[in-house]
Amino acid sequence: MLKQSLSQKLLQKLSPQQIQLMKLLQVPTMELEQRIKEEIEENPALEEGREEREDVQDDFDDAEVTDAEADFDINDYLDSDLPQYKTSVNNYSADDDEKAIPLSGGMSFHEVLTSQLGLRNLSEKESVIADTIIGNIDDDGYLRREIIAMVDDIAFGQNTTVSENEIEDVLFVIQDFEPAGVGARDLRECLLLQLERKHHGDISVYTAKKIIETSFEEFTKKHYEKIKKKFEIGDEDLKEAINEITKLNPKPGNSLKQSTNTNNFQQIIPDFILTEQDGELQLTLNGRNAPQLRVSKTYETMLRNYSEGVKATKSDKDAVMFVRQKLDSAKWFIDAIKQRQNTLLLTMNTILDFQKEFFLSGDETDLKPMILKDIAEIVQMDISTISRVANSKYISTPFGTFKLKYFFSESLSTTSGEEVSTREVKKILQDAVDAEEKRKPLTDQKLAELLKEKGYNIARRTVAKYREQLNIPVARLRKEI
């Protein structure tokens, strides 16, 4: 049965400008620079560079209004009373010192491996196999693809029939390449390849090799008593063997990538810079957050000419609508950049006031419990907005560079009823583990008892959670000889 009725609903819809601002808020400085470049490429009405002021004396109030102009107000774009600086963004100071970081070139990891093939006497078929193997070695130096799968790869890709034994023979050749351990199919094989090259009558290396060969699982689980009993060795012999193993590189590909200067490091560019002068904290926004942006004079002139009586054909009207759209987009983008900067500064200043003790001392235990809701209530913004600001943003301080999320933590109550940050508890946990006797590392229960003695009534399972967040292994895996 169909029925008509009236209802009243309260809906919230985001405008395109708000959506654009939300997207800009969550990107860090480095990505913002790329985003601005993309916007400039897509919108010809948006330009980069310092604005040259020109006095505009034209009075458009007396201009004849045509049919096309009735659709929009030309003065929205050509208001002679609007200073040009209001439609431009300048984040650079005359004192800014811009330094370019030179990048050195070099051969890639796989190119270095391929170059070593020239030192081996390989047949044409073996060269095809070698190229396939090297192509399947990952950045860590491991061969993750199954031998049987590469048989099919070569059959379909190179129209060449090979056997598993032929591939393994060539693989053994590649495993003799530099760096030691390259081409291994798992960690155990990687360590054995490196130990094989070191074994020249050294009893410690020999013991280490036997441990990896026959007791790898016991070694990874640190069942040292089982290993000593199996090989009939004492603590000192086992300690020397373990020392040889810990010298090995579990990711041999990394050393080769670094030596060829082709490793892509993530460069951190702080969004905020905090300095201290005479006990006063001074916060500035990184000048690289945006270049100088301005609205194109050429596009403004197009609308000016149209308003002065240029004959309006259909193509002219379409062109004007296009120009108007691009000018709107340019002004919205510039305004979004400004709002982004204001929101970033407002939020960071609030965090600065909230955690002032930490920013003055640099002591992690001075951090107060602080969640996104606390800052959102102070600045009167939505929690999602604060989350976007804190995401992937960094601040440079006299004590180092920190991610904004570092300053946020939950709270817990001490036995005296005081609210403290979980960050403080984690610091105590880390210090306790660092100072523990490695022969008898502290269990989670012992750590919980230690915290209880200090006034932190925390359950063992909570200690385990904090330990995992600190990337600290369980007590058994921290045990040393």
d(CA 431, CA 206): 36
Q: Domain 410-481: give its CATH architecture.
A: Orthogonal Bundle (1.10)
| Whether the predicted pLDDT of 380 surpasses 70 | yes
Residue 287: exposure state from Cβ atoms within 10 A (0-12, 13-18, ≥19): middle
Q: Using pLDDT thresholds of 50, 70 and 90, give the confidence band for residue 50.
A: low
Tokens of 292: 């100088």
For the stretch 36-46, pLDDT in tens is 888 888 888 88
User: What is the 8-class DSSP label of residue 404?
Assistant: G
* Residue scoring higher pLDDT (216 or 82): 216
For the stretch 89-141, pLDDT in tens is 554 444 444 444 444 456 778 888 888 888 888 899 999 999 999 999 998 89
* Residue scoring higher pLDDT (156 or 261): 156
For the stretch 347-375, pLDDT in tens is 999 999 999 988 988 888 788 888 889 99
Which residues in the chain are classed under CATH 1.10.10.60? 410-481
Residue 210: exposure state from Cβ atoms within 10 A (0-12, 13-18, ≥19): middle
pTM for the predicted model, two decimal places: 0.53
d(CA 109, CA 87): 48
Q: Are 327 and 45 in contact (CB under 8 A)?
A: yes
Q: Which helix (DSSP H) or strand (DSSP E) does residue 329 occupy?
A: helix 314-354
Torsion of CA 181, 135, 132, 196, to 10 degrees: 0
Contacts of 201 (CB under 8 A, 6+ apart): none
What integer is the mean pLDDT of 168-176? 92
What is the pLDDT, as a whole number, of residue 256? 56
Rounded to the nearest angstrom, the gap between the alpha carbon of residue 469 and the centroid of all alpha carbons in its chain is: 18
Min mean pLDDT across 162-166, 167-171, 266-270 is at: 266-270
SS3 293: strand
Match 């919230």 to its residue by tokens: 12
